[in-house]
Amino acid sequence: MSPDSPPPPPGPDGRGQGRLGGEQGWPKWMVWVLLGVVLLALFLPQLVQRSSGTEISYGEFIDKLQAQQVQDATFNNSNGNISGTLTDGTEFHATGPVKPPDGDLDLMAKQDVKFETPTTGLLEQVLPLIIFFGLIVLFFAWMQRRASSQMGGIMSIGRSRAKTYSTERPGTTFADVAGYEGVKQEITEVVDFLKHPERFSEIGARIPKGVLLVGPPGTGKTLIARAVAGEAGVPFLSVTGSDFMEMFVGVGASRVRDLFQSARKMGRAIIFIDEIDSIGRKRGAGLGGGHDEREQTLNQMLAEMDGFEVSAGIVMMAATNRPDILDPALLRPGRFDRQVVVPLPELEDRRRILDVHVRHKKIAPDVDLDLVARGTPGMSGADLANLVNEAALFAVREGAEQIHARHFDMARDRVVMGQRRESMALSDEEKEAIAYHEAGHAVCAAVLPTADPLHKVTIIPSGMALGVTMQLPEEDRHIYRQDYIEDSLVVRMGGRIAEELVFGVISTGANNDLVGATELARKMVREWGMSARVGPMAWGSQGQVFLGEDLMHTRDYSDDTARVIDEEVERILREQEERCRTILTENRKGLDLVARALLEHETIDGAEVTRLIELARDRAAPTPPADETSDDAAEADAPVGSPHASVPPGAG
């Protein structure tokens, strides 16, 4: 096969067609047709011969002989067949014994019955034997072929299971990959080299042998590889890391060899291995030792990529979301020269990804994709595709002909908060506690200067939460300042402190808030150096991926340092708790207004929360003294938020 020749067309199982059923082999029905023709040639003459004339019994034939009603007859000594003509001109045939009784023989002789012994030809004598032994030979040949096919399946277990894609099957292209311009630039460079190698060889440039796509799950690493398969003018071999592993020892290494041999036969080719971390883990980290099947597979891959033999014209691509566990020998230059990071999409990238996913959907004019993109920070491409699909499902459930903005809001709530549990029965006391809890979060988020803007607050149970306070950042954040983190702690404490101020007791509703706040404060002390007492030191715990790498993992600081860390974590949490208590005490009237608005409407947006807080502040502001105003008039103009006035129920 020449390097430019296309691979053979795949069969139903993805491989080339075999002889049986192909262009070079006989179809199965041809054997049965030949067998039927032979049997028909043998038995048809006898059937035709027996079918002529009237069928009579042997006794009737003897009676007619005695009555002299037989004009002429012929007796066959080999099979006992009798045929002839009666005196009335009727033809007949009968079947008698091969050796009739002596009396019947004498009667036949008197009536001039002819006795004949037909001579059979050599073909007629040998052909039944040939057919019989031929059927036996065909049976054993079929059994041997079946056994050899089963044995061939066992022997072919070491062959690669990679799927080959050519230019006739483009599938996905770079037009389907939105955003990630830097990633596509590096990948396009590899494709251009394989298409036009002379452009790079003129100045002595060498294309990287391997490109490793690294990024969180759902960011489109496999999608980019499929786009390369569609854009490349060379064969594209795709395989997953788990395809190399089997229950037999040595199968993985054999499949790696077969994969690279197939690529070398194609000349220039791209090999893509998805989830390479399943076979590329660090060697010597497990308990299996050097004879571990995974290590043998990895050793063979290292040798094929950049070993003694040079694999010219073969570019290897791989994708993983766990680059920290890969073997260092696999990541060195010469094997995977480049590590292309495919991060979570930024705001502009999310906007372009949404354009791709809404391309074939009916979108209403009130949908603002810029607002949807801003409201989905941290979502991957797969999450955005799921978001658009959920919005379409909500539109179908409502019977709408287009997807409206409210459907995107419902879909975002479904993805972020979980499914609504509207059938959950809550008592009035529980609803009031939940309302004040969420109002505490909302007031802190609306008042603090560096906190993310408040988007909406709801007390409708969703997922595992009884209420949700949602904040949406105005722009994507890449670093977090200490004041932002401290304000985030205050927002997390808001629900618990609100319950304490209003009801005098706390509940279990702040469980998730306390877990997140404690984890955040511990990171501030241990990893980010945000504690003056501990100093600029980091003791971040790096989780061990392998059991055998460090069975007896010990911390790298003393017990005294651990006590200091715990004390600093407690100090930070208590300080932010006091800040939260102060904020909610100063905005107590606003807290009441927001809670009562939640009890009335169940869901309010961030703008409404801000309006209620400002309304409470305006009511609590002192009225300037008036010289000509009577005491009664001054008392009548007292603000609603004064100590002598109560907040009207259902305000807001």
Q: Do 391 and 464 fall within a single domain?
A: no
Which of 367, 395, 416 is the C-terminal boundary of a domain? 416
Structure tokens at 279: 């076979």
The SS3 of residue 339 is strand
In terms of average pLDDT, the best of 114-118, 341-345, 460-464 is: 341-345
Tell which residue, 519, 499, 516, has the closest CA to residue 441. Answer: 499
For residues 146 and 544, which has the higher predicted lDDT (pLDDT)?
Answer: 146
CA dist 210 and 333 (Å) reads 9
Does 179 reside within a domain? Answer: yes
Q: Please indicate whether residue 1 or residue 85 has the higher confidence score (pLDDT).
A: 85
- Both 246 and 390 in one domain: the answer is no
The verdict on pTM exceeding 0.85 is: no
* pLDDT tens-place string over residues 582-620: 999 999 898 999 999 998 888 888 888 888 888 888 777
Query: Is residue 438 among the annotated active site residues?
Result: yes
CB 278 within 8 A of CB 241: yes
Residue 252 lies in a domain: yes
Asked if residue 104 lies in contact with residue 82, where contact means CB atoms within 8 angstroms, the answer is no
Assess if residue 45 is contained within a domain.
no
Average pLDDT over residues 345-357: 86
pLDDT > 90 in the chain, percent: 12
Instruction: Clarify whether residues 291 and 383 are in a common domain.
Output: no
| 140 within domain boundaries | no
Which of 290, 323, 341 is the last residue in one of the domains? 341
Which tokens hold the place of 541? Answer: 């715990």
Are residues 354 and 435 part of one domain? no
- Above 60 in pLDDT, residue 158? no
Give the CATH number for residue 367.
1.10.8.60
Task: Please indicate, yes or no, if residue 56 is contained in any of the structural domains.
Answer: yes
Give the pLDDT of residue 45: 56
Whether residues 311 and 387 share a domain: the answer is no
Residue type, 454: L
Tell me whether residue 650 is in a domain: no
Residues 297 and 194 in one domain: yes
C-alpha 458/C-alpha 603 separation (Å) is 4
- For residues 307 and 252, state if they share a domain: yes
Q: What's the pLDDT score for residue 442? A: 92
In degrees to the nearest 10, what's the CA dihedral of 292, 296, 297, 298? 100
Q: What is the CATH number for 481?
A: 1.20.58.760
Q: Are residues 246 and 308 in the same domain?
A: yes
Averaged pLDDT, 424-434: 82
Rounded to 10 degrees, what is the CA torsion of 123, 126, 128, 130? -110
- Give the list of residues 6+ apart from residue 201 with CB closer than 8 angstroms, or none: none
Residue 512 lies in a domain: yes
Q: Is 141 domain-assigned?
A: no
Q: Which of 275, 293, 295, 438 is catalytic?
A: 438
pLDDT mean over 503-530: 90
Kindly state the average pLDDT of the residues 486-501: 92
Count structural domains, the chain: 4
* 179 HSE (CA, 13 A, CB side): 22
Residue 59: pLDDT band with limits 50, 70, 90: confident
Partners of residue 115 on adjacent β-strands: 75
Structural contact between residues 522 and 567, judged by C-beta atoms closer than 8 angstroms = no
> Residue 327 sits in a domain of what CATH number?
3.40.50.300
- Joined together, the tokens standing for residue 267 give 């000349």
Model confidence at 623: pLDDT above 80: no
More confident position, 284 or 184: 184
Identify whether residues 242 and 265 lie together within a single domain. yes
The verdict on 194 and 111 lying in the same domain is no
Q: Are 378 and 344 spatial neighbours (Cβ–Cβ below 8 Å)? A: yes
Q: Which of 315, 341, 367 is the last residue of a domain?
A: 341
Residue 418 and residue 464 in contact, taking contact as beta carbons nearer than 8 Å: yes
Do 305 and 207 fall within a single domain?
Answer: yes
Tell whether the model's pLDDT for residue 568 goes beyond 90. yes
Q: Is the pLDDT of residue 341 over 80?
A: yes
- 67 lies in the same domain as 84: yes
Give me the domain span that covers residue 65: 52-118
Q: Are strands 468-471 and 454-458 parallel, antiparallel or unpaired?
A: antiparallel
Residues 6+ apart with CB under 8 A from 228: 187, 190, 191, 236, 270, 272, 317
The CATH number of whichever domain residue 72 belongs to comes to 3.30.720.210
Considering 183-187, 322-326, 390-394, 636-640, the range whose residues carry the highest mean pLDDT is: 390-394
Supply φ then ψ for residue 433, to 5 degrees: -65, -40
Question: Contact 594/443 with Cβ under 8 angstroms?
Answer: yes
